[in-house]
Structure 1
C-alpha cells in the first residue's frame, strides 16, 4: 500500500477508536444529574465505566481471532451495529441496573475499535520505525478523545439534558459506520497467515509480550483511575458540570506532546522507554504525596495527572510497537490480547477504586504510584532482553 492509503486508513481508524473512547467519558460531567434522576449515589454511577470497560476488553478477545479468519472490515461493521443499537436503547433506560447492562453491551460493540487500533497498523506497516510513528499518531486520538468527550458532554448536558449526550453518540456512530463501509479497504490479505483462537496459547508463553502487556495494562489503568475518580473529586470540591468538564481536559496537551515526541524522536527505543517509565513513577509519587498531608487542590491533582498523561503518550506507542513487531502473522490475535487484557485489567482497577475513600486524593495517588512501580519493574526486566 502506498503512503496516501496508509494515511487514509489511519484517519478512518482514529474515527473508529474515538467513538468508543468518547462513550467511556462523555457522561462524566453529568454524573451528579444521572445519580439524581436514577436516585442513586454518585459513586454507584462510576460502575457504568467499569461495566463498559470490562465488556470492551472481553469483546476484543473475540474480535481479533475472527478478524484473522474473515477479514477486518466485516468485523468492524458488526461491532458498530452493536454499538448503535445499545446507544439507542440507553436513551430509554430508567434504572442504573439497566444502564449498566446497556453500557456493557455498548462496550461489546466498541471493543472492535480497540483491537483494530493495534491490528490494522501491523497489517500495513512492516518495520519498527514506521510502526512506531503510526502508533504515536494513533495514540493522540486514542488518548485525547476520552478527555475531549467530557467537555462536549458538559456543553450538551448544560444546553439540553444528559441523555442528549447519547443522541450525539448515536449520530456520530451512524456517520462513522457509513464512512467505514464506503471508504475502508480490507487490510487482511488472503496470503496473510490466519490464526485461530488457540493462537493465544503461543502468545501467553512469550515472556517479552507479557511484560509489554502488563506495562500497557498498568498505564491504561492509571488513565482510567483518573477518568473515573476525578469527576467525583472535582464535583465534591464545588465545581459545576461545565467547570468539571473544562478541568477534566486540561491534561490533553501533555498527551499530544508525549505521542508527538515519540513519533518524531530519533532516540533509541530503550532510551525513550526509560524516559517514559521514570516519568510514570514520578507522577505517581507527586499524585500521592499531597494525600499524606490531607492536601487536595486543583494543582495537586492536575499537575501530576498531566505528567502521567505525557508519559502515557510516550509509553503506549512504544510498548505497543515492542509487543506487535514479532506478530505479523497473527496481528488480530495479538492486538486482541493486548487490547482485551488492558481493558479488562483497567476496568477491574476502576471498579476497585470505587470502594476507596473519596475525601481526598490519597486513594487516587496511591493507585497511581503503585502503577508507576509496576511499570518500572516490568521495563527493568524487559530492558535486559530488549535490544532495539
Structure 2
C-alpha cells in the first residue's frame, strides 16, 4: 500500500509540475531562440505570455470536462495536445509560429494542474488532503530550481530545440504512468451540464464573494511580479550582465530557492500568526524590494550580485503571500470549491500573462521595465489588499479554522 501511495503521489506531483517545467526550462534558451528566429529577446518573451494565456483559459475549460467525463479521458486529450505542441516547437521557423505553439502547449498541459487537484480529492481522505497538497506544492516549488539549470545545459550543449524535445518526452512518460499506474478516480456524470449558462452561474456565485475577490486579485498581482521577473530576467542577466546560459540557470536556481525556503518558513510562522496577519506584511516588504529594484535599475545603482539579492528577496515575499492568499480566497466555499479553484487559477495566470506582455511592450534594452513592472504589481496587490481587508473587517467575516489548519501544514 505504501508503494502504491508513493507512486500515485509521484504521478500527481509530475502532473502538477508540467506548467512550471514548461515555463522555466526554456528560459536560458531565449537569446539563441531570438538569434535563430531573427528577432529579439523582448519578442521571444511573448512566447511566455502566450503560454500564460493558454494556461489561464485552459483551466476554465478542463474543470467542467473533468467533472462530466471523469478524470482520465480529458487528461489524455490535454496531454496529447501538450506532447504534439512540444515537438512542434522544435520545428518553429518564426516567432509567431512559436508563440502559437506555446499557446497550444499550455492549453494541453494545464490539464495536469487541474486534474491533479481533482484526483487528490477523489483518491485520498479529506483529512489527508492538506498534507497531500503540501507535498504537491513542494514538487512545484522544487521544479523551478531544477528546470532552468537543466535547460541551460541542454541549450548550451544541443541547442534550444532540445529543450522542447525533452519536454515532449517528459509528457509522454507521464501519460504512460497515468495509463498504467493511476486509477480512474471518478466515473463520468451524464447529468452534469456543460451549458454555458450553468457553468457561468457557478463562477458568478464565486465571484460575488468579497473575500474571494480580495485575496484572489491580491495574490494574483503578487504572482504577476514573479512572472514579470521570469519574462525579464533572461534579458537582464544574459544580455545586460552578460552571463552564460549555464550561469543564468544557476542564478534562477538561487532565486527560486529563496521562494521555496520562504514557503517552508511560512508554515512555521503560521503556528503563531494567522494568514490575514502575514499577507499584508509580506506584500509590504515585496513593495519595498520592488521599488528598490526599479529605482536602482533606473539610476544604475545595482550590479549583478545586488540585483540577484533583491530579486531573491522579492520572490521570498511571494513564498509568504501566495499560499496564504490562495487558501483564504477559497476558504468560504464548500460546494463550489472546484469552480473557485479553477477561477482562481484563471485569474492568476491572466494577470501573470498581462505582466509578461507589459515587460515586452516597455522593453528598452535596460533592466528598468522588469523592475518597474515588478514594483507596480506588488504595489497594486497592496492597494487591493488594504482596500478589501477593511471592507471584510466591517463585515466581520471569519476565516475558517480548517483553512488555517491546512496552511499550518504547508
TM-score, with normalisation over the residues of structure 2?
0.84
Superposition map of 1:295-334 within 5 A: 295-334=301-340
Alignment check: 8 A CA contact 1:91 1:166 kept: yes
- 1:212 CA drift (Å): 1.8
Q: Which runs of 5+ in 2 are unaligned?
A: 400-410
CA RMSD of aligned residues (A): 2.7
Question: 1:219 & 1:306 partners in 2: Cα distance?
Answer: 14
Q: Quote the residue 2:342 is aligned against.
A: 336
Question: 1:366 & 1:33 partners in 2: Cα distance?
Answer: 26
1:34-90 deviation line (CA, Å, top 9, x unaligned): 111111122211111111111111111111122222333332222111101111222
- 1:346 CA drift (Å): 0.8
Superposition map of 1:51-66 within 5 A: 51-66=50-65
Question: 1:182 & 1:132 partners in 2: Cα distance?
Answer: 26
Q: 2:218 aligns with which of 215, 225, 228?
A: 215
Task: Give the direction of change, closer, same or farther, for the CA distance of 1:49–1:349 in structure 2 (3 Å limit).
Answer: same
Alignment check: 8 A CA contact 1:87 1:169 kept: yes
Q: Quote the residue 2:92 is aligned against.
A: 93
Task: Give the direction of change, closer, same or farther, for the CA distance of 1:115–1:275 in structure 2 (3 Å limit).
Answer: farther
Q: Secondary structure at the match of 1:63?
A: helix
Q: Secondary structure at the match of 1:46?
A: helix
Runs of 4+ aligned residues of structure 1 deviating over 6 Å after TM superposition are 2-7
- 1:114 CA drift (Å): 3.1
- Alignment length, in residue pairs? 384
Superposition map of 1:338-377 within 5 A: 338-377=344-383
Q: Quote the residue 2:405 is aligned against.
A: none
Q: Quote the residue 1:387 is aligned against.
A: 398
- 1:148 CA drift (Å): 2.8
Question: 1:358 & 1:147 partners in 2: Cα distance?
Answer: 28
Higher deviation after alignment, 2-11 or 363-372: 2-11
Alignment check: 8 A CA contact 1:225 1:364 kept: yes
Task: Give the direction of change, closer, same or farther, for the CA distance of 1:339–1:298 in structure 2 (3 Å limit).
Answer: same
Question: 1:63 & 1:143 partners in 2: Cα distance?
Answer: 23
Q: Quote the residue 1:163 is aligned against.
A: 161
Q: Quote the residue 1:32 is aligned against.
A: 31
Question: 2:222 & 2:116 partners in 1: Cα distance?
Answer: 16
1:297-327 deviation line (CA, Å, top 9, x unaligned): 1233221221222222222221221222333
Q: Quote the residue 2:293 is aligned against.
A: 287
Q: Quote the residue 1:76 is aligned against.
A: 75
Question: 2:231 & 2:76 partners in 1: Cα distance?
Answer: 29
Q: Which runs of 5+ in 1 are unaligned?
A: none
- 1:248 CA drift (Å): 2.0
Q: Quote the residue 1:378 is aligned against.
A: 384
TM-score, with normalisation over the residues of structure 1?
0.89
